[in-house]
Structure 1
Amino acid sequence: MPLSRMLGVVSRTTLLPSQAARHAPLAILPNGVLIRSALIAAISSKRLLLLPSLKLLSFFSKPDRGFMLHPEKNPFIHVLLKKTFYNQFCAGETRAQAKQCVKALKDLGFKGVILTYARETVFDNDSKSGNMQGVEEVEDKEATSSKASFCPSIEEWRVGTLKTIELIAEGDMLALKMTGAGSKVTAAFVAEQTVPQQFLDALDEICAACKARSIRIIVDGESQHFQKGIAATTLQLMNRFNRDGSAIIFNTYQAYLKHTPKVIAEHLEVASQEGFTLGLKLVRGAYMLSDDRSLIHDTKQETDDAYNHITT
């Protein structure tokens, strides 16, 4: 028997239990995290469970609920939602909680994390309406006026995003949701017009801060109602910051959309002509319940085939 094979047998048979545990990918996760993840995955993968759950969460999110149905006032509902859905997807409600979450993930062995300022506008194709997620909407006539040069929503988004950057370090990634900047920005996206200068200045500040600290930026894919404008703005940022053969800014492309291969080809051509590096993040997609269904592949297999084709 070859010596190398003998050593392999010995090493396998003499591992201590603690050493063997390190070879099981999920062994490092706390039991609570495993159970919570299994629960969320089970609900998310079953349409009969997912749709009622989303409606229930939407119901609880309305600010006009009484004591018994208000997540911030009813301690039972608060704990239930906080320990399940919230902790699965959110780093924390405060700076300290978010920092602790990032530290806990890195203590598990992850080399980096992706953090986002969780504020976005989701457009529902059925109702033809947009809904800001992550903040309570406040009616501000000056902010929504086309004549106003300063937009509080853009400023809040800028400050919140910069504070998010402070929670991560070199090797981490910032996920950017551009629609979180509010109605002035989303209106420009829909009309495929230039976004407000205040927003462009905020993006420059955010990108410069990330580049200085070796933090890469992922511009999230969002509702298709806004996506053309998001992509155009992202290409402008890449043209400025993705130079010298490297990329710090990445655009997200959703493989479940029928036109994605064509869009990627067009963006690659633009990058080649303009001399910058195209940062590309490929996902399958996440807005099936709210986007125009005709834009999306009919089956998951078609989505998988498109994904595999793009990556080859």
Structure 2
Amino acid sequence: MATRVIPPRILGKLRYNTASKPLNSANSSLSPTLSPSPSPVLPPPTSVLRPAAADDLNFNDHHKLFSHLPTSDLLRSAAVLHATAVDPLVDFGTWLLRSNLMNVNGLREILLASVRHSFYNHFCAGEDAPAAAKSIRALNSAGLRGMLVYSVEDALDNHACDRNFHGFLRTVDVSRSLPPSSVSFVIVKITAICPMSLLERMSDLLRWQHKDPSLSLPWKQDCFPIFSESSPLYHTTKRPEPLTPEEEKDLELATQRFFELCQKCVQANMPLMVDAEHTSVQPAIDYFTYSSAILHNKTENPIVFGTMQTYLKDAKERLMLAVEAAEKMGIPMGFKLVRGAYMSSESKLAESLGHSSPIHDTIEDTHKCFNDCSSFMLEKIANGPGGVVLATHNIESGKLAAAKAHEVGIGKVNHKLEFAQLHGMSDALSFGLSNAGFQVSKYMPFGPVETVMPYLLRRAEENRGMLAASGFDRQLMRKELGRRLKAAVF
């Protein structure tokens, strides 16, 4: 990732070298890789995360944290976050938007307008590319960057895949038109450019090959390890049939779409982040990600990044295996670390198949896994190629990772490290990290309200716990609004 344009308010705080190398520069050379461990699993990080120093991070100064937000935006944010913290209201809203009332002419338009002027405007970047570009510029003026995502959900056929593919290509063009480094990543969902049924079939075959290495997959290219010994394989109950000629043709089309998107990102010098999804299709998504990384990650700054969901019990082991394999092959690899967003659906699927959930049994275990994986990746990129995006809404994890970055000498505003939060959420954490000098991005979906609706509904259901726990931000927003009211600042 290239270094952003640093706002003047941050310049005085920098203590480290902020220079970065361009992605895939012709003059860049691959950094020496680390000596691989003789064990198939790398040892855990040797150092312990410790909280950041109080003078580095300040999450309590509401005036400083929200100084760049207009009062109108602050009022809307406070109202939306308060509404999403009320479970009955979220339940009613999701029911309403999924009900037959959405098919009633007149009422549908009223409901969509209500969503547009409230939740949509809060969590999304705009309805089209120009609107998204405007949102990115406003975000960048406040010291943050954007992860731009054309917000489409699962594709069922090649026609939908082609339509979505062109949308992702346009997203790269939009990113190139914006000020340098204002966009940190373009996001792609493999489920939007490859039919879901094919991804499920590929995942079954990949899982079965892990059970039985003698299974031949003629379509499989070079790839990093996708599974660990602790990975759940219960999705595959019997030996799958090989891909049919029609499925192989569809796979060829999907591979070509992803290859062209990666090539466009290479030409644009723009990192591409592959989102993680359900475990039923995640093996195929990892296969696309890793095989493409081998082809396109040529300098120490990777173009193709994968996503690891650390609420999964096997996340840390899979991360270590993939990193070790990348080191052996001399391939720089980047990862986004998230906690995860499919908790209820994953647990229900596992239970229906008679297995325990693949998700950690306690939230404390999930926190520990995220922090351990963060520490591991920060140590790796401090001493070699690659990059990491720490996508967290947890303030303690932010403090620990900031301290670890300082400890291993990565420094702030560094092209190897990015923090990230969803647009419209955890603004106190985002601005606090940014004020301390770190690169911070917001995940910014864009598209027509009707197109983005599935994304909003999924976020409402899967992230209700996080939304309900947004009291810290709401409290700070109330204090800042009170301060502005007393000072007559509007």
* TM exceeding 0.5: yes
Contact between 2:306 and 2:334, CA under 8 Å: does it hold in 1?
Answer: yes
1:192-207 mapped onto 2 (5 Å cutoff): 192=205, 194=219, 196-207=251-262
Matched, 1:90 2:124: yes
1:179 matched to 2:191: yes
In the alignment, which residue of structure 1 is the partner of 2:66? 26
- Measured against aligned partners, the alpha-carbon deviations of 1:90-113 in whole angstroms (never above 9, x if no partner) come to 222223322222222223333x31
Q: Secondary structure of the equivalent of 1:224?
A: coil
Aligned length: 259
Out of 218, 231, 234, the position equivalent to 2:273 is 218
Question: Once the 2 structures are TM-superposed, how far is the Cα of residue 189 of structure 1 from its aligned partner?
Answer: 4.1
Please say which of residues 161-170 and 285-294 is displaced more in the overlay. 285-294
Distance 1:289 1:40, change over 3 A: farther
Separation (CA, whole Å) in 2 of partners of 1:270 and 1:50: 43
Q: Is the 8 A contact 1:115 1:175 kept in 2?
A: yes
Question: Quick one: which amino acid aligns to residue 290 of structure 1?
Answer: S
CA shift for structure 1 position 47: 4.5
Q: Assess, with a 3 A threshold, how the Cα gap between structure 1 residues 253 and 38 changes in structure 2: closer, same or farther.
A: farther
Following the alignment from structure 2 to structure 1, what is the Cα–Cα distance between the partners of residues 74 and 358?
A: 35
Pick one of 95, 100, 104 that aligns with 2:134.
100
Residue 299 of structure 1 corresponds to which residue in structure 2?
362
- 1:223-269 C-alpha deviation (Å, 9 max, x unpaired): 22111110111001111111232211111111111110111122112
Is the partner of 2:187 in helix, strand or coil? strand
Distance 1:300 1:50 in 2: 22
- Distance in 1 of aligned mates of 2:309 and 2:146: 21
CA RMSD of aligned residues (A): 2.6
User: By how many angstroms is 1:192 displaced?
Assistant: 4.1
Distance 2:281 2:83 in 1: 28
Distance between the aligned counterparts of 1:50 and 1:64, measured in 2?
Answer: 17
CA gap of 1:107–1:80, structure 2 versus 1, over 3 A, is: same
Question: 1:118 — aligned with what?
Answer: 151
SS of equivalent to 2:345 = coil
The alpha-carbon distance between structure 1 residues 288 and 49, as it changes in their structure 2 partners (threshold 3 A), is farther
Identity within the alignment, %: 26
Length-normalised TM-score, structure 2: 0.49
- The equivalent position to 2:115 in structure 1, one of 81, 95, 105, is 81
Pick closer, same or farther for the CA change 1:202–1:90 going to 2, 3 Å: same
Q: Distance in 2 between matches of 1:290 and 1:207?
A: 30
Task: Confirm whether residue 35 of structure 1 aligns to residue 40 of structure 2.
Answer: no
Task: Tell me which residue corresponds to 2:105.
Answer: 67
Give the residue type in structure 2 aligned to 1:269.
E
Counterpart contact for 1:247–1:279, Cα < 8 Å: yes
Distance across 2 between alignment mates of 1:192 and 1:290 = 22
Change (3 A) 1:67 1:80: same
User: 2: CA distance between counterparts of 1:175 and 1:87?
Assistant: 20
Q: Which residue of 2 is the match for residue 259 of structure 1?
A: 314
Q: SS at the partner of 2:64?
A: coil
Aligned pair in 2 of structure 1 residues 64, 88: CA closer, same or farther (>3 Å)? Answer: closer
**In 1: Cα distance, 2:74 partner to 2:119 partner:** 13
Instruction: Flag the 1:40–1:220 CA change in 2: closer, same or farther, 3 A.
Output: farther
- What letter is aligned with 2:65? P
Give runs of ≥4 in structure 1 deviating > 6 Å. Answer: none
1:67 is displaced (CA, Å) by 2.2
Provide the rounded CA distance (Å) in 1 between the counterparts of 2:367 and 2:120.
29
Contact 1:185 1:199 in 2 (8 A): no
Unaligned runs of 5+ in 2: 1-60, 207-218, 220-249, 349-356, 376-490
Q: Does 1:58 align with 2:98?
A: yes
**Distance in 1 separating the partners of 2:81 and 2:359:** 22
Deviation at 1:154, TM superposition (A): 2.3
- The CA deviation at 1:206 is 0.9
2:171 maps to which of 143, 164, 169: 164
1:119-174 deviation per Cα after TM superposition (whole angstroms, max 9, x unaligned): 122xxxxxxxxxx6xxxx7xxxxx5xxxxxxx322211211110111111343210
**Residue equivalent to 1:310:** 373
TM-score, normalised with respect to structure 1: 0.74
* Correspondences of 1:134-173 after superposition (within 5 Å): 143=157, 151-169=158-176, 170-171=180-181, 172=183, 173=185
Whether the 8 Å contact between 2:200 and 2:280 is mirrored in structure 1 is: no
